[in-house]
Amino acid sequence: MKNIVLASSSKYRQAILSKLQLKFTSVAPDVDESEITGESPQDLVVRLAEKKAKAVAHNFPKSLIIGSDQVAVIGNQILTKPGSFDVAKQQLTIASGKSVIFFTGLCLYNAITKRAQVDCVPFKVHFRNLNEQQIVNYLQAEEPYDSAGSFKSEGFGISLFKKLEGDDPNTLIGLPLIRLIEMFSNEGIQIP
């Protein structure tokens, strides 16, 4: 079996990939994640997922490299990782009673053949109507400042939702495993 590399330092993506019981190395890619003017959220995450995978290929020339990137979108506004309580509170206030679509870009790059399989996997979250105190309580309890959209669905963040729509719950956390398994199969790796 080829070496598998996750081009991410995200502990969330590492935990998700561990579900497949594969040995892998995790490496942070050095990539400029700036948007290109006029670029759609879907094009952004696909471009960055592929860019992240290819960014580490020179150090892992005989490997399959996984790149992933995610944005949350409400209306036409991209919700980034908030980084602070105030920004997270603002994001959750905007999301209250609305639907947020998460677009997760996924790339499986074969460094030997230079073949890149890329896809964008959507996942929709419908938020409950939240009052200010509920938002504050949640943020103080979980501090999701490193998560796009200001919540962690795998934790207490589930209390913010009324409905989830998508094919793979792992997508919401940042790594669509069902689609990744299909990509591995295309490379001759069967799981299980």
How many Cβ atoms are within 10 Å of 22's Cβ, its own excluded? 14
Which residue among 30, 43, 69, 167 is the active-site one? 69
Active site residue 69: yes
Burial call 129-138: b when 16+ CB within 10 Å, e when fewer: ebeeeebeeb
In this structure, what are the phi and psi dihedrals at residue 164, rounded to the nearest 5 degrees?
-120, 140
Secondary structure of the chain as H, E, C letters: CCEEEECCCCHHHHHHHHCCCCCCEECCCCCCCCCCCCCCHHHHHHHHHHHHHHHCHHHCCCEEEEEEEEEEEECCEEECCCCCHHHHHHHHHHHCCCEEEEEEEEEEEECCCCEEEEEEEEEEEEECCCCHHHHHHHHHHHCCCCCCCCCCCCCHHHHHEEEEECCCHHHHHCCCHHHHHHHHHHCCCCCC
> Any idea which residues carry the catalytic annotation?
69
